[in-house]
Structure 1
Amino acid sequence: MPETNRIEYKICLSREMDLEKHVVAFLNYREGGMIYVGIDNQGQTVGITDPDGDMLKIKDRVKNNIAPSAMGLFDVVSEERNGNYVIKIIVASGSEKPYFKKKYGMTEKGCYIRVGTAAEPMPRQMIDKLYATRTRNSIGKIKAHRQDLTFEQLRIYYDEKNRRLNKKFKKNLELTTEDGSLNYAAYLLADENNISIKVAKYSGDNRVNLIENNEYGYCSLIKATKRVLDKIDLENRTAATITSKERKEQRLWSSIALREAIINAFVHSDFTREVPPKFEIFNDRIEITSAGSLPEGLSREEFFEGYSIPRNKELMRIYKDLEMVEQLGSGIPRILDHYGEDSFYFSENFLRLVFPAIEQVTEQVTEQVTEQVTEQVGKLLLVMENIEYTNTELMEKLNIKHRPTFHYNYLQPSLNQELIEMTIPDKPRSSKQKYRMTMKGNKLKKAINNDTE
């Protein structure tokens, strides 16, 4: 494979090879990229003799020679190709652009951007523009309202991985602001905080009958994550199907996809809004909701292809240290191995993942619903995707100009049957009101499509 806008090849790691330049270029590039060491410019594998030693040198150079900090934004792994070892450096697009080589500062000699297959100096105008729009409201920059925090739980988890925390761990893990105060990332990871993490369980397919409301928060986010993983794993029972030939056993949900979705909800949630992730179990599905939609500069297509712009690089770094996260950008592809893109629901403020349970008999449910819906409701569902729409956008898709006709024949019946829902249900007449399909509506749409094929 030749070099591309996201792939750079280097024969070996040396002082002459300007590694920092290429890492900076990918940090500043909206899609990030990968640098392979041990492959020549033609894409031929030549290998390296000391992968472990070179990996340590790479981590050290990226950590100490680039600003703002790239910790949590890059990953270094070794791969075997044709009997030889190569190193792959995965670089995510950063949210604090422009990144630069510390030696030259925020100048044209220090800032680079990926252009085609090359790392080019960034023009002064672009440097100034990026700096003016740099993300400033992040958990690393917000000062914690408590400074008497303790981190015994975090120490235990690091000890379990034989990674001792020294006296400078708060600074090394970027748990302090520029003035040395503990930041909001530290607050989230402290032994005690005020972050509520709930796992709710309902007896039906809606939120009417709540039968469990388990609290796993108010502790280190790492501990809360592990407790939620354990709870969901208990709920993910094994279902058995017995045929004349064999007995097949399968868990209600993919364990791999569930784990990735739960950890992603913790690592990528927008905690600056003080809205924690939410986990809900219904009799036909599980829903995982996190605050914050797609990071700025990342499209839906790039998101599904595995491009990574970590929202909370401080959390990402620690979750990687504790081996709870694998390679950058691997989470979404792992989920897509088991569930389709229609399991992801995006809004302006939230991202929700909906995983159906394998034991739900969707055919019987959708047949009953199909008999009750009108032709107009069916048409409305067919023009909708898993995004949010305004009144006007839906009318344009249906080519309807008379608002009362749309409201009484299309919109209201769909709302009444819970096939679509409002994004602001407590303010039905809000000027910012939008509509999206529900899980029930999505199932019905699929049934209608199957009937017409």
Structure 2
Amino acid sequence: MHFNLQQQIDAGESKTLEFKRQLPKGEQLAKTLIAFANTAGGKLVIGVDDQRQILGIEDDEFEMMDKIASMVHELCQPSLMPSIYLETLQNKTLVVVQVFRGNQMPYFLKYQGRDQGTYVRLGATNRQASLVMIHELERQALNQSFDEQIAWQTALSELDLTPLIQAFEQVGKPLNDAKMRSLKLIRQQDGIDYPTHGLMILLGRYEQVAIKCARFKGTAMTLFLDKKEYTGDLFNQLEQTEIFIKNHLHLRGEILGLQRTDTFEIPMPAIREALVNAIVHRDYSNSGRDIKVGIYDDLLNIVSPGGLPNGITLDEAMHGRSEIRNKVIARVFKELDFIEQWGSGIARMQQICQQADTPAPRLKETGDFFDIEFVRTETTSQDESSEKSSEKSSEKSSEKLPPILALIQSNPKISAKALSEELGITSRAVEKQIAQLKKDDKLERIGPAKGGYWRVK
């Protein structure tokens, strides 16, 4: 979907858009353009402030454009070739610097070097890339995926392939050596067969290959009623997670003709699609991070680490664009009929929910994580109903609030740093928003900076 510049500015800063009142210092400008080139591309618009007001530029336009080109040439490596042009909005001139996702990643600040000077875009902020991220960018530039690479530390003979063989047998397909090679589950080096990371992941041989499930009381993470952690092969994890979810969702009965049909408040095929999406597209290269499934009174939340793969935007994903982060996992899941066709998962979730007359799932990219939320449509048990009612009324009142106020209302002791991470904006931008809300008499601080809390008026 194409939006003109005015519509983009109205939507605010994002993964692909940043505003500056005036020409930033060279390093600041270079960091933003490098982050765009390493992520999903983007536009830096000069002449717009943090409140989205169009101020225009006061300096000579063409002199500024030459200065930008010179800064980029001096500071960025490999060379970036941004498109620098003028746009007139509200009779004011803006300078737009547009960079597309590069094919020579990683891009970095020349004087800082690759390891220290590589930046990526997370939400509306530029973040210094870790070595894990840098290696992922290098793989993307070579069109390789982490799961296609050889897992040198493990001998193929050490692995029990039974879960994988059984999964293929269930769909009537044999899993022989030739098939394992074509799916890149094994690769040969110097006449010896080695497992790939993809095979190790499918068998659940890494600590980060896990799904953590929790049923929380109420609508926050403060108190849990049940929790489980599933490890082992991915097929077992998927099955056990589905059972956990079913145990904590309500059934609703419907009379069709002479027969009663019981269905879950959220259609299970849509949940299964979301779980498969999380398993196939999450980032496995970064240890210590796993998939989390949270069930609250009001929603079911599935969070996978890694954000959207290979720099695509949420809008592109919503419109069916498919980018595969884990090629081995994806091929296997397609072969086993977990995936119908590339890029159809989100559309199928929405279609299934629509047919079941339940709310469409909410999708969001928060920093380096991807979130899918399903709204629960059934009430909880009678003894929780009054508590639920008060939670719902406060939730409804917060729906109309700006995101920052909604977060503060749900957690009055939330820190500025946590707000920055949740909203995907800089700490400075959070401080500005808070200052404006206090000025508008919508927010007040009770008690000291440390140990106090916020009150939404």
Name the CA distance, whole Å, in 1 between partners of 2:370 and 2:230.
Answer: 21
Alignment of 1:19-418 (within 5 A): 133-134=141-142, 138-141=146-149, 143=151, 145-147=153-155, 148-177=158-187, 179=189, 180-190=193-203, 194=207, 195-217=209-231, 219-240=232-253, 250-274=263-287, 275-337=289-351, 338=353, 343-360=362-379, 364-368=390-394, 380-381=405-406, 387-394=423-430, 400=436, 408=444
Structure 1 residues 379 and 137: alpha-carbon distance in aligned structure 2, compared to 1, 3 A threshold: closer
Q: How many residues align?
A: 290
Name the CA distance, whole Å, in 1 between partners of 2:221 and 2:427.
Answer: 26
The one-letter code of the counterpart of 2:334 is K
The one-letter code of the counterpart of 1:258 is I
Structure 1 residues 341 and 238: alpha-carbon distance in aligned structure 2, compared to 1, 3 A threshold: closer
Name the CA distance, whole Å, in 2 between partners of 1:265 and 1:313.
Answer: 14
CA offsets per residue over residues 402-423 of structure 1, 9 Å max, x none?
899998559x9xx95899xxxx
Aligned to 2:147, the other structure's residue is in SS state coil
Instruction: For residue 286 of structure 1, report the CA deviation from its aligned partner.
Output: 1.2
Name the CA distance, whole Å, in 2 between partners of 1:196 and 1:260.
Answer: 18
Instruction: For residue 325 of structure 1, report the CA deviation from its aligned partner.
Output: 1.2
The question of whether the paired residues in 2 share the 8 Å contact of 1:137 and 1:272 is answered with no
Aligned to 1:229, the other structure's residue is in SS state helix
Alignment of 1:416-427 (within 5 A): none
Instruction: For residue 346 of structure 1, report the CA deviation from its aligned partner.
Output: 1.1
The question of whether the paired residues in 1 share the 8 Å contact of 2:145 and 2:325 is answered with no
Name the CA distance, whole Å, in 2 between partners of 1:273 and 1:131.
Answer: 14
Which shifted more, 134-143 or 292-301?
Answer: 134-143
The one-letter code of the counterpart of 1:390 is T
The one-letter code of the counterpart of 1:187 is M
CA offsets per residue over residues 217-254 of structure 1, 9 Å max, x none?
1x221222223223323433313589xxx999652212
Instruction: For residue 176 of structure 1, report the CA deviation from its aligned partner.
Output: 3.1
The question of whether the paired residues in 1 share the 8 Å contact of 2:445 and 2:454 is answered with no
Instruction: For residue 302 of structure 1, report the CA deviation from its aligned partner.
Output: 0.6
Name the CA distance, whole Å, in 1 between partners of 2:173 and 2:290.
Answer: 28
The question of whether the paired residues in 2 share the 8 Å contact of 1:176 and 1:182 is answered with yes
What residue in structure 2 maps to residue 83 of structure 1?
none
Name the CA distance, whole Å, in 2 between partners of 1:407 and 1:288.
Answer: 31
CA offsets per residue over residues 251-286 of structure 1, 9 Å max, x none?
221222211101111111101113221112222221
The question of whether the paired residues in 1 share the 8 Å contact of 2:140 and 2:310 is answered with no
The one-letter code of the counterpart of 1:306 is G
- Percent of pairs identical after alignment? 20
Aligned to 2:195, the other structure's residue is in SS state coil
Q: Aligned-residue CA RMSD in angstroms?
A: 4.7
The one-letter code of the counterpart of 1:350 is F
The one-letter code of the counterpart of 1:388 is G
What residue in structure 2 maps to residue 425 of structure 1?
none
Aligned to 1:222, the other structure's residue is in SS state helix
Structure 1 residues 135 and 329: alpha-carbon distance in aligned structure 2, compared to 1, 3 A threshold: same
What residue in structure 2 maps to residue 101 of structure 1?
none
Segments of structure 1 that go 5 or more residues without pairing to the other structure are 1-29, 31-94, 99-128, 420-453
CA offsets per residue over residues 289-344 of structure 1, 9 Å max, x none?
10111223312211111110011111111111111111111101122233777712
The question of whether the paired residues in 2 share the 8 Å contact of 1:144 and 1:186 is answered with no
What residue in structure 2 maps to residue 51 of structure 1?
none
Aligned to 2:146, the other structure's residue is in SS state coil
Name the CA distance, whole Å, in 1 between partners of 2:395 and 2:139.
Answer: 53
The one-letter code of the counterpart of 1:367 is S
Calculate the TM-score normalised by the size of structure 2: 0.52
What residue in structure 2 maps to residue 115 of structure 1?
none
Structure 1 residues 328 and 210: alpha-carbon distance in aligned structure 2, compared to 1, 3 A threshold: same
Structure 1 residues 96 and 146: alpha-carbon distance in aligned structure 2, compared to 1, 3 A threshold: farther
Name the CA distance, whole Å, in 2 between partners of 1:167 and 1:418.
Answer: 64
Segments of structure 2 that go 5 or more residues without pairing to the other structure are 1-39, 41-101, 106-136, 380-384, 408-418
Name the CA distance, whole Å, in 2 between partners of 1:191 and 1:133.
Answer: 27
Calculate the TM-score normalised by the size of structure 1: 0.53
What residue in structure 1 maps to residue 58 of structure 2?
none
